[in-house]
Amino acid sequence: MFIEEIKLRINILAQKHKSNDEYGIDEFKDSELLELEAENLIIAYCEEKKYLIEGFPTEKKKIKDELDEDYFCSERYHYYLDCLTVEKEDVADLMWCYVSSFWPDSFDSKQEYILTIKEQLNSGVFYQINNLN
């Protein structure tokens, strides 16, 4: 999947997300599903590119029987995306598209967004997981 195609799909999802907010139609449930769908597009792109953070997710999926059932949780995927956001320019672009489309007033710039991600990663307290091992 190409980056521009993913960005287009994220923008379409963001428009639906905005409509939910305006009309209040099952807004929490539907909005959460739209956010998850956008994140999954980015995760699929990263997996297709074979991007790993400490073997996650691809190598860890090979040994999933040895891991507890909650290992592949949303927090771990958020950590994965955040790490890749600060390491890979293409992932940073996709994540910025996602954040700025869904929540346009959250950050003034892509640089501010990335700085916030770096601070969260460095603090070590933002994530409910210790690491990816």
Residue-wise pLDDT tens digits, 24-79: 555 556 788 999 999 999 999 999 999 999 888 777 777 777 777 777 788 888 99
- In the chain, where the domains are located: 3-123
- The closest of 83, 94, 78 to 51, measured between CA atoms, is 83
Tokens representing 86 are 């600060």
CA of 101: how far to CAs of 22, 28, 31, 42, 77, in Å? 15, 17, 13, 14, 20
Given a cut of 60, is residue 130 above it in pLDDT? Answer: no
